[in-house]
Amino acid sequence: MNKRPILLVEDDFNLRTALAQTLGLAGYQVLEAGDGKAALEVLDESPVSAVVTDYQMKPMDGCQLLRKIRKHHPQLPVLMVTAHGTIPHAVETILEGATDYLIKPFSAQILVDKLESMMPVSRCTENTLAVDPVTIEVLNLTKKVAASDTTVLLQGESGTGKEVFAQVVHQESDRASGPFVAINCAAIPENMLEALLFGHEKGAFTGAHEARAGKFEQANNGTLLLDEISEMDLGLQAKLLRVLQEREVERIGSKSSIPLDVRIVATTNRDLREEVLEGRFREDLYYRISVFPITLPPLRDRPGDIAPLANYFIQNICQDKRPAPQLTEQAIQHLCQHGWPGNVRELQNLVQRTLILCNGNTIHAHDLRFEGALTLVHKPQSDTARPEEPQDLSGNMQSVEGKLIIRALTQGGGSRKQAAEILGISPRTLRYKIARLRDAGVRIPDHQIRIVSENSL
């Protein structure tokens, strides 16, 4: 299966070349444009899956390009790249309709992860998931509930494929011909999430230069995925509950309501019942979204999926660029013995690393490039052992960030609230970063994130 290409828009030739190589190694076809005008010409001639564009360009900057893309390609994912000094501009582009943004400098893996989270999920992925009997049972259950219009809550660890199953709910329903719209409630700053969900009128707040439909409106007659809904602020939860009850939405700055016909699918990597008991999630909203809860098993509990998924990623990354190497039986055994704390995303990252460094037609066990901190799996950890830390810190900001977070959790005695204060970030941001580290395969010992006091989050 060939991926539709990515359009990369960057006026710095050297940076554009480096980014194109990075995306190429991740299995993407890359179309390049040196400015906004050239990008629009490419879009007129070639369909693409997503756009990655710099903000600071002349004569047409990234925000102007975004407006034109939204006019002619309203559902096309757009990733805005900006420098530290232009973060307010990045926020503005989100309000203008950018799917997400990246702040320079960033690691190659973060760029790839961002793109993968934005891309529509392939139907082929759905089929490869349903190999292990446990997965087949969950998939069949998902297809049954998809035939109704019931609200679905998908629960499971980060990286288990909740968005894939959300796509299954949509594709197997009567709404399959309608839009599938997703929003990550953990990745969007709290002060922006409301505007992105409900939309806004021109002049409703600073930066609202024109009226903009929210995700609910965009998903009308289709499906709206509220990814990681447990990270939503309590105040916004109350507003969301009203929209779900009334089946209508009111844009920020508007006095009129817009009727909705939207199916809701929500995901969480937390125990929402516990979140309700701890006062972090509204009980009435919990019962509204958990009409039909489905729990996705972690990858370690469905070993029959590991080899098929690995082969799928190998084929998908290699495509027509090189012959796809084959996994030996010993390599498959090593994969099945691994603990996979990062689940399917960790497996995909492993395959990418292995293919970069493996030049032959066969992947042996010694070719598998596990994360340094995860090479020894299932190793008992004594009470006095130091917490595992990411070992590869050679310029990888994600690894440095992981090391700092683990240290802060240790210093804070396991309290995420104290760790957030040590790091100088909000507890909500810390929860999101911990989830991202787990997605990348970094093991954070359970004792470090336990709730240690009534003041913990």
What is the pLDDT tens value at each position of the chain, 457 positions in all? 345 688 999 988 888 888 888 888 777 889 999 988 899 999 988 888 899 998 888 888 888 898 888 888 877 889 988 876 555 666 666 777 788 888 877 877 788 878 877 765 444 444 445 788 899 999 999 999 999 999 999 999 988 989 899 999 999 999 999 999 999 898 787 778 998 899 999 888 877 778 888 999 999 999 999 999 999 999 999 999 999 999 999 999 998 999 999 999 999 999 999 999 999 999 999 999 999 999 999 999 999 999 999 988 898 888 767 788 999 999 999 999 999 988 998 898 899 888 888 878 899 988 888 875 333 333 344 433 344 444 333 334 445 667 778 877 887 777 777 787 777 677 777 777 787 777 666 666 554 444 333 333 3
| Residue-level pLDDT at 391 | 39
Comparing CA positions, the residue from 315, 301, 397, 377 lying closest to residue 348 is 315
Comparing CA positions, the residue from 225, 223, 224, 228 lying closest to residue 272 is 228
Tokens 């190659």 belong to 108
Residue 228 region by backbone torsions, left for phi larger than 0, else alpha for psi between -120 and 50, else beta: left
Residue 112: both structure tokens together: 């790839």
* Whether the Cβ atoms of residue 5 and residue 28 lie closer than 8 Å to each other: yes
Q: Is 200 in a helix, a strand, or coil?
A: strand
Residues in the chain: 457
| Residue-level pLDDT at 399 | 58
Helices (H), 147-228: 162-171, 190-198, 215-218
| Residue-level pLDDT at 89 | 64
| Angle, helices 427-439/397-411, rounded to nearest 10 degrees | 120
Query: Which domains can be identified in the chain, with CATH numbers?
Result: 6-118 (3.40.50.2300), 123-295 (3.40.50.300), 299-370 (1.10.8.60)
Contacts 24+ apart (CB under 8 A), 189-196: 189/91, 190/233, 190/236, 190/428, 192/91, 192/94, 192/95, 193/232, 193/233, 193/236, 194/236, 194/239, 194/252, 195/95, 195/252, 196/94, 196/95
Q: Give strand ranges (E) for 23-159.
A: 30-33, 50-54, 78-82, 100-103, 152-155
CB-count exposure of residue 140 (10 Å: 0-12, 13-18, 19+): exposed
Tokens 């400015």 belong to 35
| Residue-level pLDDT at 429 | 74
| Residue-level pLDDT at 379 | 38
Q: Is 278 in a helix, a strand, or coil?
A: coil
| CA separation for the pair 248, 257 (Å, rounded) | 6
If one counts every other C-beta atom within 10 angstroms of the C-beta of residue 329, the result is: 9
| Residue-level pLDDT at 396 | 45
CB-count exposure of residue 270 (10 Å: 0-12, 13-18, 19+): middle
